[in-house]
Amino acid sequence: MTDVNQHIFLCDAERAAALGDELRAAGVSGEMSSGADGAALFVEATAIALNSDSDPEMLAPALAFARQSLPNAELFADASVNHIVRCASQAVIEACDDAGDWALHILRAEDADAPGPNRARLLRSEIEAQLKKRRRRLLRSLAPDDAPVDVSSAPTTLVQLYLESRERTWLSIVRPGAQASSDAFWRRCLSPWPGGLWQATENREPPSRAYRKLAEALEQFPWIGGGIGDVDSAGEGPPGSRGAALAIQAGDRVVDLGASPGGWSWVALQRGARVLAVDRSPLRADLMQHAKLDFVQGDAFQYRPESPVDWLICDVIAFPDRILELLRDWVAMKRCRNFCVTVKFRGAGDYGVLVELKNMLNKHARDFALRRLSENKNEVTAFGCL
């Protein structure tokens, strides 16, 4: 008999239908239903469709419209707080006892009848009290309340409680940076941030708010490119291998296509990269004078580097098919080693390009994720490495 698992995907209510289409296009079979608030999709899927049991190299599909995933979720139906606390505490002990750091994210449905913040605080407090009695050392490795998963330590366990309603609470536990394929399988679909919602730090220095999209992308995909799964005890690993999380680093050569007024170039420069910015219009004056920035005035779609660069970053405004062809050229010809590119839509009618985009990246990229980030509007971000 085929095992059936329950997986929960959090999304924006207006894009739940598009997320369902994504799952079906990926070959996921099983019953799908939306939560009362429309911001969660519940999927009963077979192990072959949404698990890695059949292929240890298999990854979950890249889901553009799922901001967070709760794989293999266990339901507590009509359960008391005490029962949920006992079961969740035992599950944490079994999963985290010898597993390094861990984070507990307690998420609430957005429906008016869903449990409020007091219920979430009570569950957290009671779980911590249980662990204090039974495994005090686990509290020392627990991340602060609602903090993102700390991916600087390996391995890290993500524990999620989802309060769907007063009668229905779900528990999901996963270690996305681990070697085990059953956990690493999910890393494309997971965010280190509670509910997938990135928290921006206000900064008035960049030339535009668009900088936040690149800043978020660099914090939303810590497991892409291998995450921290293979770093050694000293926290080191060969660049580009599993274990080296993708990040713009000091000394990297970055090409920013459609760069003006310079928000994305600003992020790269802040990280110590050397930036070549391409646009018909100049960047803000101080960026144009930056010692590590070179400017090429021209068409972003026509520019090609003389040799491969470390990063292609691009937030240019264009029809999605043009962005698809631009990215296809750069990755197929290996003009870059890593990429972060936004794909903008005129409306839901453009979402069909995502199928072709995923097929292209599955063919040419070593690893990638595709997601509508917290800072994205009617657009998604493609992020990955070759």
| Catalytic residue numbers, as ranges | 344
Angle among Cα 312, 276, 339 to the nearest 5 degrees reads 5
Answer for the pair 239, 261: CB distance below 8 angstroms, yes or no.
no
Extended beta strands in 56-101, E state: 68-70, 74-77
CB 105 within 8 A of CB 148: no
Q: How many CB atoms lie within 10 A of CB 210?
A: 18
DSSP 142: B
Three-state secondary-structure class, residue 115: coil
Each as own residue / partner, the long-range contacts of residues 196-200 (CB below 8 Å, 24 or more positions apart, any chain) are 196/10, 196/66, 196/67, 196/68, 196/220, 196/374, 197/67, 197/374, 198/373, 198/374, 198/375, 200/374, 200/375
* Start-to-end Cα distance in the chain: 39
Q: DSSP secondary-structure letter at 222?
A: T
- What is the residue type of 66? A
What is the C-alpha separation between 215 and 228, in angstroms, rounded? 20
CB 368 within 8 Å of CB 384: yes
Rounded to whole angstroms, how far apart are CA atoms 365 and 370?
12
Q: Are 148 and 190 in contact (CB under 8 A)?
A: no
Question: How far is residue 369's CA from residue 381's CA, in Å, rounded to a whole number?
Answer: 8
Nearest to 69 by CA among 375, 371, 382: 371
Residue 172, strand partner residues: 160
CA pair distance 227, 34, nearest whole angstrom: 31
